[in-house]
């Protein structure tokens, strides 16, 4: 028997789970372009352009907008470690996996974190935000997940920034599953710091976490009494590399930027801007409605009252075996969907319609495949 070398030759799946989403070939081709040095003027131009495109997609003028090296969780951690110091107070909205994680990450920064809770699948109300800010007037920030991928709940942020700012707190938003899939206006909505990921609605491989910091966040970082506890994610050093210093200024090496991932992100953002952000968001809405209508015909209902377009969290129909159905979808149709998490394990499926994958072809395919497998 000959021993063959391991091969990197994965199947082409249709990724319709909670992320990653299917990556277009254009992005994969960009990823395979020649690697440049991280201080090469050509690379720096690509990086600057990527940051400018991120500003457009975030709808922000924030100068400090760049992709953190690492996945979405690195973005969450980057914001937490830079904005919080030991002894600070924070408020975090907890109604799913990612709110739970945000609380944990912020507690690890030495902050006392007060939770605003809602049942999984529900959203947090403006009244709850107001009451928590009243109860904890020293809170430096309020953290909330815009698109809770674990439950499929779409959190409205309307009026939240005003409530926070009236109490001197910053509004911090997790936009990992909403950026480029749902309406999101960082400046107009008064968001002070935000993070996302590349592998959800941007349809880029996982590996970078776009972040953006506004004026209040800059002031909070300038006012720190202690060093940022993470060397790798310390924005006071990172900004000397990522922020264009202008004529005469130099770029200061911190760590080697993930060069090829930057190519991929730049290409993914170019696709978003070519389609048009508003058109892309509308496409996600249309595909969500198409999927919802098809599921309804099959008698399958949604769990959250306010569902995301990008992540559809549905009840597993009575009599269907969770693992068997998902395995058959993968093996027979090459379709990946997500299982339920935490209290929803065994009770929910999560169908992602993100970025490149939010198409009529995929919606009709997953509906047809489900119908067949559920027979
Ligand atoms: C996926 C996700 C994350 C974490 O991103 P990773 O890329 O897995 O590190 C954080 N928040 C939300 C809402 C997510 O959906």
Whether 156 and 121 map to the same domain: the answer is yes
CA of 361 to the centre of ligand 1 (A): 26
Alpha carbon distances (Å) from 225 to 89, 105, 228: 15, 20, 9
Any idea what the CATH number is for the domain that residue 347 is in? 3.90.1150.10
- Nearest atom in ligand 1 to 150's CA: 15
* Ligand 1 atom showing the smallest separation from residue 175 Cα: 13
**pTM as predicted:** 0.97
Same domain, 63 and 139: yes
Counting from 1 in the atom list of ligand 1, the atom nearest the Cα of 149 is 15
Binding pocket residue ranges, ligand 1, CB within 6 Å: 19, 71-73, 98, 145, 147, 149, 174, 176-177, 197, 206
| Domain stop point among 252, 272, 292 | 272
Measured between alpha carbons, how far is 47 from 57 in angstroms, rounded to an integer?
A: 15
pLDDT tens, per residue, the chain with 375 residues: 556 777 889 999 999 999 999 999 999 999 999 999 999 999 999 999 999 999 999 999 999 999 999 999 999 999 999 999 999 999 999 999 999 999 999 999 999 999 999 999 999 999 999 999 999 999 999 999 999 999 999 999 999 999 999 999 999 999 999 999 999 999 999 999 999 999 999 999 999 999 999 999 999 999 999 999 999 999 999 999 998 666 666 899 999 999 999 999 999 999 999 999 999 999 999 999 999 999 999 999 999 999 999 999 999 999 999 999 999 999 999 999 999 999 999 999 999 999 999 999 999 999 999 999 999
Q: Do the Cβ atoms of 60 and 214 come closer than 8 Å? A: yes
How many domains, the chain?
A: 2
Cβ-based neighbours of 296, under 8 Å, separated by 6 or more: none
Q: Which of 251, 272, 293 is the last residue of a domain?
A: 272
- d(CA 149, CA 178) in angstroms, rounded, equals 9
Q: Give residue 338 CA to ligand 1 midpoint distance, Å.
A: 14
Domain residues for the domain of 257 are 25-272
């Amino acid at each position: 028997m000959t021993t063959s070398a391991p091969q990197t030759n994965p199947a082409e799946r249709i990724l319709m789970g909670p992320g990653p989403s299917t990556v277009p070939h254009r992005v994969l081709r960009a990823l395979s372009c020649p690697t440049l040095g991280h201080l090469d003027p050509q690379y720096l131009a690509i990086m600057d352009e990527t940051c400018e495109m991120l500003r457009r997609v975030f709808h922000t003028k924030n100068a400090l907008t760049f992709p953190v090296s690492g996945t979405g969780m690195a973005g969450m951690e980057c914001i937490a470690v830079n904005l919080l110091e030991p002894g600070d107070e924070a408020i975090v909205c907890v109604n799913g996996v990612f709110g739970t994680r945000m609380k944990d990450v912020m507690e690890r920064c030495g902050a006392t974190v007060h939770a605003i809770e809602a049942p999984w699948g529900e959203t947090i109300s403006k009244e709850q935000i107001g009451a928590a800010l009243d109860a904890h007037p020293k809170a430096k920030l309020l953290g909330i997940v815009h698109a809770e991928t674990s439950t499929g709940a779409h959190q409205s942020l309307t009026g939240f920034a005003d409530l926070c700012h009236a109490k001197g707190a910053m509004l911090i938003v997790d936009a990992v599953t909403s950026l480029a899939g749902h309406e999101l206006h960082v400046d107009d909505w008064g968001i002070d710091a935000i993070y996302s990921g590349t592998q959800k609605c941007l349809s880029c491989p996982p590996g970078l976490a776009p972040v953006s910091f506004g004026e209040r966040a800059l002031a909070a970082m300038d006012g720190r009494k202690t060093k940022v506890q993470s060397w790798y994610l310390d924005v006071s050093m990172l900004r000397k590399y990522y922020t264009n210093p202008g004529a005469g200024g130099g770029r200061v090496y911190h760590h080697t930027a993930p060069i090829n991932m930057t190519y991929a992100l730049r290409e993914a953002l170019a696709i978003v801007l070519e389609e048009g952000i508003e058109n892309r968001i509308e496409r996600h809405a249309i595909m969500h409605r198409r999927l919802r209508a098809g599921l309804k015909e099959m008698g399958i209902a949604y769990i959250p009252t306010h569902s995301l377009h990008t992540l559809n969290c549905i009840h597993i129909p009575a009599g269907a075996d969770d693992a068997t159905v998902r395995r058959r979808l993968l093996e027979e149709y090459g379709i990946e969907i997500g299982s339920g998490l935490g209290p929803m394990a065994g009770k929910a499926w999560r169908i992602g319609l993100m970025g490149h994958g939010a198409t009529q072809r995929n919606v009709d395919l997953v509906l047809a495949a489900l119908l067949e497998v559920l027979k």
